[in-house]
Amino acid sequence: MPKQQVNDLRNKLQQPAPDGWHRLRLFNYLRGTLALFFITVYLNGWLLDLTPSGYANPDLFITVALIYFILSILFISGMLRRKPGLDTQVIIHTLVDISCVVMLMHATGGVRSGLGMLLIISISMTSLFLHKRVTILFAAISALAVIAEQIYSQFIFPDYSPAFSQAGMLGILIFITAILSAYTAKRLKESEKIAKVASQELESIVQMNEHIIRSMRTGIMVIKNNGVVLMNNNAALELLGLTSIEQGDNLKNLSIDLYNRFNDWNNDSIQNHQPIQQKQGLPDLQPGFSHIDQSRIPHEKIKGRTLIFLEDATQLTQRFQQVKLASLGRLTASIAHEIRNPLAAINHAGQLLGETSTDAADKKLTDIINTQAKRLNGIVENVLQLSRQQRGKPETIIIQKWLLQFREEFITTHSLAAYQIHIRIEPEDIEVSFDSSQLHQVMWNLCSNAINHSHMEKSNIMIIIQGKVDADTRQPYIDIIDNGPGIDKETQSSIFDPFFTTSSAGTGLGLYITKEVIESNRAKIRYISPPAGGTCFRIYFQQVQKMNSEFN
């Protein structure tokens, strides 16, 4: 459900149902309006039109009308203060209505004027507040008051012709109305109670659904056919690298690649399962699309709104990779012994043959045997290492301090000078989240590759490690740059593929394992072509999560 519709529904559900005081105020507005009408009738000389019998008492009429209007104003004060209680005020209002209506009826010639019908309205209103028996009591009081007015008029006006039959019919009508109104009021109260319970359940469902959507790690977006975003959750913002999406924003302005993928799917309804690579520092997206609006006509869709699912493609890859690694682990565990024992025997035999042979051609062949046996053994070792790879345990690392210690160990092992590995981190207190032992493995592999693939004298090799914080995503990263020959464009797309290598002595698993280790720590690695030549690998780290940062 779009955000605006959810808010509108919540506002409607949170609005309280009309209570008794609200209804009583409405009825009082009707009372005041009737009093003003009677005053207007008197002031305009229309009183004779209400007295078909000719027995009119203008002074009584205007006096009662004014009293009726004044009382309706005074009633407002009691309703505002809500003192006395609701039932008490309803009883007072009803008695005032009966008294004033009967006196107005008397001032206009009795029951023949038709003003007695106003008693039906008053009794009907009373039934909405009071118990059925009290409503019947007021109906009886009204009927008796009408009959008493007829008797009184007969005594006051000697020539007055009473209309007891009309008074009786009016009394019966008042009783019938009171009974029907009481029954209707009872059903209305039951319906209100059911509606209130239903609205509370619906509000609970709306809140629960919204909480589920907001808490999902899968990004959720709802857009119109023209790309206007109707709704999104926090996971979608995080995956797109946004802080907020304003109402009316277009997907084209938020992510042009995702918008183009949506258009392609919307036109031919074919899902493209290739991940969308975002700018540096943001995860690759694996989008999914589904039409929300469905036509009642079979096999026909109304493409009005679309639901977009956004997944972190890296996490999906990790899940698939874990399945593959599990299978690979079982395979390597079963055949490692069978492979390594023959390899050891071949390597040992080659060494013995090389030591005993004096022929140069034989020595060359034994060297080939030994070299290839070592290479095959290296492949087995890498595959075993890959199958045993465990998810990293994140640690808070001050990258500047850690790299300085790493450099000392690396240059000592590879007999390099200190100036050949230059470290520049800005600012120097950058902290990253990574498993320190696995970070050591990653940096060792990347820096070793810079040496092994440089094709130059070791003394000429230069490695620069520089780190910064991305200005847009606030994500820390480091670049490992060397002055080697670089990687051609055709090869760049395959360097992280398993068993891909351009060296006859390589296994093709070094960069693949490095990438897997980095992504197991929820980090990213990208290859960047430096403008001045050479090779550059950029590692984007996860930010260190501060305590309670998610709740601030």
Average pLDDT for 173-177: 87
208 domain residue, yes or no? no
Q: Which of 228, 266, 263, 222 is nearest to 247 (CA)?
A: 228
Measured distance CA(152)–CA(117) in Å, rounded: 19
209 within domain boundaries:
no
Residue ending a domain, choose from 171, 202, 233 = 202
* Residue with more model confidence, 549 or 477: 477
Which of helix, strand or coil describes residue 83? coil
Integer Cα distance of 243 and 351 in angstroms: 64
Tens of pLDDT along 402-425? 999 999 999 988 889 888 999 999
Q: Are strands 421-425 and 463-469 parallel, antiparallel or unpaired?
A: parallel
Residue for token digits 């899902």?
271
Q: Are residues 477 and 517 in the same domain?
A: yes
- Residue 16 in any domain: the answer is yes
Same domain for 179 and 257, yes or no, is: no
Same domain, 331 and 221: no
Domain range enclosing 246: 215-312
Cβ atoms of 502 and 491 within 8 Å: the answer is yes
Residue 309, pLDDT score: 87
pLDDT at residue 65, rounded to an integer: 92
Residue 343 is part of a domain; what is its CATH number?
1.10.287
| Residue 99: count of CB within 10 angstroms of its CB | 16
> What pLDDT digit, counting tens, does each position of 82-116 carry?
888 888 999 999 999 999 999 998 888 888 888 88
Same domain membership, residue 25 and residue 120: yes
| Whether residues 57 and 139 fall in one domain | yes
Q: 297 with 428, same domain?
A: no
- Kind of pairing between the strands at 535-540 and 542-543: unpaired
Write the DSSP symbol of residue 498. Answer: T
Total of domains in the chain: 4
pLDDT(236) > 50 = yes
Contact residues for 434 (Cβ-Cβ < 8 A; gap 6+): 392, 394, 395, 397, 521, 523, 541, 542
Task: Point out which residues pair with 525 in neighbouring strands.
Answer: 539
Q: Is 89 strand, coil or helix?
A: helix
With respect to residue 424, please indicate whether it lies within any of the assigned structural domains.
yes
Is residue 88 a contact partner of residue 129, using CB atoms and an 8 Å limit? Answer: no
210 domain-assigned:
no
Among 11-20, 22-31, 43-52, 400-409, which stretch is predicted with the lowest mean pLDDT? 11-20
Q: Kindly state whether residues 302 and 322 are assigned to the same domain.
A: no
Query: What is the model's pLDDT at position 163?
Result: 78
Looking at the structure, tell me whether residues 145 and 42 fall in a common domain. Answer: yes
Supply the pLDDT for residue 547: 37
pLDDT tens per residue across span 314-346: 666 666 666 666 666 666 666 666 677 777 788
Helices (H) and strands (E) in the chain, counts: 16, 12
Give the pLDDT confidence of 495-507 residue by residue, as tens digits: 887 777 766 666 6
The encoded tokens of residue 416 equal 């390099």
For residues 29 and 153, membership in a common domain is answered with yes
If DSSP codes are grouped into helix, strand and coil, which group holds residue 99?
helix
Inform me whether the pLDDT recorded for 530 exceeds 90. no
SS (H, E, C) 384-429: HHHHCCCCCCCEEEEHHHHHHHHHHHHHHHHCCCHHHEEEEECCCC
Residue 189: predicted pLDDT = 77
Regarding whether 159 and 53 lie in a shared domain, the answer is: yes
Q: pTM to 2 decimals?
A: 0.45
452 assigned to some structural domain: yes
Residues 6+ apart with CB under 8 A from 421: 407, 410, 411, 447, 463, 464, 465
Higher pLDDT pick, 179 / 328: 179
Q: Is residue 207 part of a domain?
A: no
Residue showing tokens 């698939």? 320
Most confident of 72-81, 219-228, 318-327, 373-382: 72-81
